[in-house]
Structure 1
Amino acid sequence: MLRSLLEIMDRYPDLPREVILKESILLNGLSFSDSALQASYQEKAYYLFTFDPDDPEHVKGRGRVVPQEVRISGGPLGLRATVIQSRHSSRSPFRVDLEENLKLFVDGQPIADVEFVPRPSYYGQALRDGIRVEEVAPAIYWGETADVTAYRICEYWNVNQQCKFCDINENFRSWGHLRKGLGAVVPRELVADAVEVASRDPGVRRYLITGGTIRDGLKEAEFYLQYVKEVEERVSSLPARLNTQALRVEVLPRFYEAGVDYYHPNLEVWDEKLFALISPGKNLNIGRDEWIRRTVEAVKVFGVGNVSPNFVAGIEMAYSPDFPHGFRKVEEAVKSTASGIEFLMSRDVTPKFDTWGLEPRSWFGIHGVSLPPLEYYLELYRAYRDLRRKYGMPWPRGLGEAGPGVSRVPASGFMDVEF
């Protein structure tokens, strides 16, 4: 693995080494020694998806929950500080172990120093009914974002129309015990309490309201709008991010007026055929063309740089005998997604990415699909970089600063590419 990584770094001299290593870790996951987990850190919040290559029952067998994120730096490659989401994999070639200090090993060789994300100051504080604030608004982005999963399941699962990469309902079944006293719907007043407490931490710079889909779009809009209003009545100092399905254009001004600054109607995959196959609920309930139209129209409400639909980067290359539909060649997959990026950027939309994590209890995990090669992500980020320059687009606002050694986006390296 190490030799292969070094060879790829030589083949992509225009991309930071940190990006190449980060994407490889996100694809393969991380293993942790028991001694490494004796350190003090913020434990991982299983808040929306697991992202773990290991089955939840295996992960729960550990003596302690792993860190939310790690930050690697230094080592023989002289790496700049790079934040990476923890994805638990006992089979990963990447291992965090304690050798005088925490280090990242690959093929048994230390390649970087490691820090675990520190526990935020607001963790441990009790809200009403004794529920701890981190059970409602855990920190992500190295503590910069207070993340609220208001609705912890998705209704597409009820009719077998869930996105094939997604394990949200299985995640709730597996890890709901971490949020004692909380069901699938978190009370609005509890969310407002939690965000208010988190906002007192000087490291918190924004909050995110997210959750599963309610199939009736108008009901979903009203559901999430009430959360934003409840929080904004108590906390007006933090910018708000909203992650929902592509809502009807006529309801969006109400969210803007309520206090939403950044809007994420996550599209997941660009190719028309793959969108229908991978996200059947979204396709049948709204439709790809209408989803795109609503996303583009949202810029008129929230402004340039503030509408950022997510792509689950790599799912367009998903392939198995049970799913023989994904692109087989990197250049074809990148060409498809890059065409979507160009379409959106030419209309003032700034897409963003999460690197696909193959969770074993998602449809893709159950049906044994293959992950894309590392080169796919490097070619995709090159294309994104070049298109952003072509259209003079800002980075997606609401994700923090960009650049190698600066970005705190944990689940993708696309914002670590350049300043």
Structure 2
Amino acid sequence: MGNEAIKQKLYKELAIKNEISVEGINVDPHIFEHLDLGGEYQEQVHLCFEMDHETHEGIEMPTGFITPGGLRISFKWDRRSDFELVYDGKQYVVTKDKKEIFPVTFDKRPNFYGLKASDGTPFNTIAGFSQGDTIYGSTVSIAYSNECALKDKGQDCLFCNINATKSTYAEKEGIGWKNPRQIAEAVSAAFKLDGVKHMNLTGGFIPERREVDYYIDVAEAVQEATGLQDFNGTAVIGAPLDLSVIDKYKEAGFRTLAMNLEVWDENYYPVILPGKVAQCGGREHWIKAIEYAAKVFGKGKVRSGFVAGIEPKPATLQGVEYFASLGVLALTGAWTVNPGSALQGHRTPEAQWHLDMAYKCHDIFKRNGFTYSDYFDVAPSPNFLIHDIFAIDEELLPVFKTAPVFSIV
């Protein structure tokens, strides 16, 4: 099979991945009795957000599964979905309206998940693992805090469920605040044992905004534990009122910086993000902070995130285009209406809306000279649709080397 034919197969898989990512997937959890979750295969640990469409306390779920062409789909449970994951006695198969689409395999549990920090804290409660490819590697994302201080002020972002997730899962799963030493030990083990080449550090707002001191402590601890001055870390922060603070993250050793604007439209912004207005100077200041960071960190070393689907598409694309012109990348993953958020019960746009968004954003990034490598270095995981489009376009997936015949039913 030639590369162009492989690409067409992969684009079809990508469309299915997008549909499942938006609509979720139905499953009878009992079928996972045949899957060694927490052993051979990676189990969900709710370090920051519940991304399934309903909570499932006490029920083990996988983190994601792999298509025949090698695309990874994050697992999002939704019993209302037309997509279903079934077990036929030999393998797990994705179906739609009872018709088989393709068999899948599951995320393997990383080696470092079986280890503990020097204080006895299991690494799987410190750093979340996202499987990447053999070329660029995988990612760990650490939520130093699984709560956000905006709740105490009644200023939570309306789409966010970080505090609800903590209330549901934290005690049961042993999730709490992480100190720099715990993070450094987990990251070091992930780098050594599991091909991890990128670290994302995030979390809720800290009372009194003590982020910068904490992040510097983490950077120093990771450098010491890994022996790497450049550990390819992304610091995800709130826009500081004093923009000179941004220089400190660069000096501390973070390769990239993220400040998630979330919404571009100036009328939507204060309604959806009351805390980011009250605590971080509002939309205009966030944009100024991102502009400043682009000058400090350089092209492709800053990102901002948008909750794609919460505002009209032209508004989000305007923001993506503007940031790209500054050398800033944007995440535009589909808005998942998280359980426990203020907007629970609302609907994200239809799947085709989101697929079109991904292709349009990829075109913007490619036109501005960005590559898969740039997107890998700024994203919290290497599994966004735009990663896949880059990987297909640049022929990075293993399937291009082995060129097997794979089919989509």
Q: CA deviation at 1:170?
A: 0.8
Aligned partner of 2:332 among 330, 347, 353: 353
Distance 1:177 1:266 in 2: 28
Aligned partner of 1:138 among 110, 128, 133: 128
Distance 2:33 2:12 in 1: 27
Report the counterpart of residue 302 of structure 1 in structure 2: 297
Unmatched runs of 5 consecutive residues or more in structure 2: 1-7, 394-409
Whether 2:359 is the aligned partner of 1:382: answer yes
Q: CA deviation at 1:391?
A: 2.6
Whether 2:231 is the aligned partner of 1:255: answer no
**How many residue pairs end up in the alignment?**
369
Report the counterpart of residue 382 of structure 2 in structure 1: 409
Whether 2:31 is the aligned partner of 1:42: answer no
Distance 2:237 2:334 in 1: 19
Q: Which amino acid aligns with 1:242?
A: A
Report the counterpart of residue 53 of structure 1 in structure 2: 53
Summarize the Cα distance change of 1:196–1:386 in structure 2 as closer, same or farther, 3 Å threshold: closer
Contact kept? 2:110, 2:194, Cα under 8 Å: no
Whether 2:219 is the aligned partner of 1:240: answer no
Q: CA deviation at 1:389?
A: 3.5
Report the counterpart of residue 161 of structure 1 in structure 2: 155
Q: Per-residue CA shift, 1:181-221, capped at 9, x if unaligned?
A: x53x222222122222222114211212111112544x222
Distance 2:131 2:154 in 1: 32
Distance 1:215 1:400 in 2: 28
Query: Aligned ranges for residues 255-404 of structure 1 at < 5 Å?
Result: 255-286=249-280, 287-316=282-311, 333-365=312-344, 368-395=345-372, 397=374, 399=376
Q: CA deviation at 1:37?
A: 4.6
Q: Per-residue CA shift, 1:117-160, capped at 9, x if unaligned?
A: 00111122122342211111121245811221101111111111
Aligned partner of 2:219 among 225, 228, 234: 228
Q: CA deviation at 1:306?
A: 1.1
Q: CA deviation at 1:414?
A: 2.4
Distance 2:46 2:333 in 1: 16
Report the counterpart of residue 80 of structure 2 in structure 1: 91
- Which range is displaced more, 115-124 or 244-253? 244-253
Contact kept? 1:156, 1:162, Cα under 8 Å: yes
Unmatched runs of 5 consecutive residues or more in structure 1: 1-12, 74-79, 317-332, 403-407
User: Which secondary structure state, in structure 2, belongs to the residue aligned with residue 32 of structure 1?
Assistant: coil
Q: Name the TM-score, length of structure 2 as normaliser.
A: 0.84
Summarize the Cα distance change of 1:215–1:345 in structure 2 as closer, same or farther, 3 Å threshold: farther
Contact kept? 2:302, 2:378, Cα under 8 Å: no
- Which range is displaced more, 18-27 or 113-122? 18-27
User: Which secondary structure state, in structure 2, belongs to the residue aligned with residue 397 of structure 1?
Assistant: helix
Summarize the Cα distance change of 1:196–1:310 in structure 2 as closer, same or farther, 3 Å threshold: same
Q: CA deviation at 1:336?
A: 1.1
Contact kept? 2:375, 2:387, Cα under 8 Å: no
Whether 2:186 is the aligned partner of 1:186: answer no
Q: Name the TM-score, length of structure 1 as normaliser.
A: 0.82
Q: Which amino acid aligns with 2:164?
A: E
User: Which secondary structure state, in structure 1, belongs to the residue aligned with residue 244 of structure 2?
Assistant: helix
Distance 1:349 1:173 in 2: 35
Q: Which amino acid aligns with 2:359?
A: R
Q: Per-residue CA shift, 1:34-85, capped at 9, x if unaligned?
A: 224521310012111111111x2xx1253xx111121122xxxxxx221111
Q: CA deviation at 1:363?
A: 0.2
Q: CA deviation at 1:223?
A: 2.4
CA RMSD of aligned residues (A): 2.3
Distance 1:336 1:279 in 2: 16
- Which range is displaced more, 195-204 or 166-175? 195-204
State, as a whole percentage, how many aligned pairs show the same letter.
27
- Runs of 4 or more, structure 1, over 4 Å off, are none
Query: Aligned ranges for residues 98-177 of structure 1 at < 5 Å?
Result: 98-99=87-88, 100-142=90-132, 144-177=138-171
